[in-house]
A = this chain, B = another copy of it.
């Protein structure tokens, strides 16, 4: 049996049963999320008590379901899992995903034995297991999801994530910044479907161009190395290793029963395979956004503009610290720009440009355009610190709107990469306005970041990635 074809079938499941659905249960939550997300196939709630829930007939056993069942989500107690496996095998189910926990991760001999048993049963019956102790599959093309807040559109990013909580957290955050997913899998203890099989699958999945991974441990180091290398050769692959430290690894063992390996080994492996290592979910989102929306700059020379004197000073420090340069504009361009400003702020027209005292009209755009066109500039960073009240007579949200429009126009008219940073959010109004501006940006093809430091670090990794590849 070709296992990868198998994964394809799982990600394209046409019918779903949820075992362990009762009022107020996690099973019901999975059911509601699936229906709310808009799954078009058949959905079958299962509970020995039968009855009805959310307008659907509840089947007392998987075997009683009339039509075929491709995918089962299990929310039943762990001790009942072996029987469920047998029922699934009998029914001809392709895969079962266990939200159910209480297996190897609890660290007891019973838990480890139980996990081995369901694996054995599934393997001999040709059934695949996702998890246990996970949220399972999000596959927008199939209309299949464990979270109703995830986007309906399909995209180019695949996420393999050993933690369900990190998966929801990451996808929601990255979605707000325009990342769209081909497939997401929360795969927990990985007793059957594991990180290596998934990386291998995504290496040849035509819908996936970028792979993000949160991994706590690997089952087979040699195979992991091989598939990661194969994948990273073909597609940008960004890995966040959970349990990087010894204590973190101990915590990972309690979480997903993972044997984690030391931080140094991971660093070496990731570097040798060409995968990109990050250290937080925020950094993972920054990389996914960069690969989704930025084209590679020719070099490390930034043209920067934004609003706020102090914010500009700090932004400059952060870009320099990340290894970038900000070439000073030559006198002749400065003189040109001085014609465009009515204020006396000629001294700010050097790069970086603090444009908070420049009129917010067409001249503002002309200044940024001249900066972008300067031949010693490789790419542009525009930034708006939302928490400041500058220029003093404008609301920060008006400044945001204006700068967003200018930056989008610049991106469409100048043939250099442009990045947008919307930072220092301090109020609910700022938060909402930022979400709107983020959407405007990514719809226009612009990468958006939450901090200058985050943008600088991500673009640095992006440049190193392309530099390393062009060396090959």
Question: In the complex, are the beta carbons of A312 and B251 less than 8 A apart?
Answer: yes
| A166 interface hit (Cβ, 8 Å) | yes
Interface residues of A in 294-313 (CB under 8 A from B): 307-313
B326 touches A247 (CB 8 A): yes
Q: Is A126 an interface residue (CB 8 A)?
A: no
**Which one of A25, A254, A432 has the highest number of Cβ atoms from chain B below 10 Å of its Cβ?**
A254
**Cα of A394 to Cα of B119 in the assembled complex, Å:** 30
Binds B, one of A46-54, A100-108, A224-232: A100-108
Q: Flag A121-143 by CB within 8 Å of B: 1 or 0 each.
A: 00000000000000100000000
Residue A8 CB within 8 A of the other chain: no
* A245-B317, A248-B320, A426-B172 known; A311-B165 Cβ under 8 A: yes
A388-B166 in contact given A255-B312, A314-B248, A344-B106 (Cβ < 8 Å):
yes
Q: Contacts A165-B309, A172-B387, A242-B313: A251 and B26 contacting too (C-beta < 8 A)?
A: no
Q: Across the interface, do B169 and A387 meet the contact criterion of CB distance under 8 Å? A: yes
Contacts of A424 in B (CB 8 A): 169, 173, 281
Across the interface, A432 reaches (CB within 8 A) one of B102, B161, B428, namely: B428
The listed residue with most B CB atoms (<10 A of its CB), out of A309, A312, A391, is: A309
A439 within 8 A of B: no
Asked if A178 is an interface residue, CB under 8 A from chain B, the answer is no
A378 contacts the other chain (CB 8 A): no
- CA A247 – CA B302 in complex, angstroms? 12
The answer to whether the Cβ of A352 comes within 8 Å of any Cβ in the partner chain is: yes
A350 at the interface (CB under 8 A from B): yes
Chain B residues closer than 8 Å to A312, beta-carbon distance:
251, 255
Shortest distance from the beta carbon of A187 to any chain B beta carbon, whole Å: 12
Residue A90, interface by CB 8 Å? no
Please give, as numbers and ranges, the residues of chain B lying within 8 Å of A184 by CB-CB distance: none
Q: Which residue of B lies closest to A258 (CB)?
A: B313
Chain A contact patch, size range: 35 or more
Query: Is A356 an interface residue, CB under 8 A from the partner?
Result: yes
Q: Which residues of B contact A432 (CB under 8 A)?
A: 428
Q: Shortest distance in angstroms between A72's beta carbon and chain B's nearest beta carbon?
A: 17
The answer on a CB contact under 8 Å between A245 and B320 is: yes
Partner of A26, one of B25, B252, B392, B428: B392
Tell me the bound Cα distance from A247 to B309 in angstroms: 14
Report which of B135, B173, B242, B357 forms a contact with A317, defined as CB distance below 8 A. Answer: B242
Q: Supply 18 further A-B pairs (C-beta < 8 A) apart from A107-B346, A147-B389.
A: A26-B391, A102-B345, A107-B347, A108-B346, A163-B308, A165-B309, A165-B311, A165-B389, A166-B308, A166-B311, A166-B314, A169-B387, A216-B313, A240-B314, A245-B317, A248-B316, A255-B312, A255-B354
Q: List 5 A-B contacts (CB under 8 A).
A: A243-B313, A250-B350, A255-B312, A256-B309, A281-B424
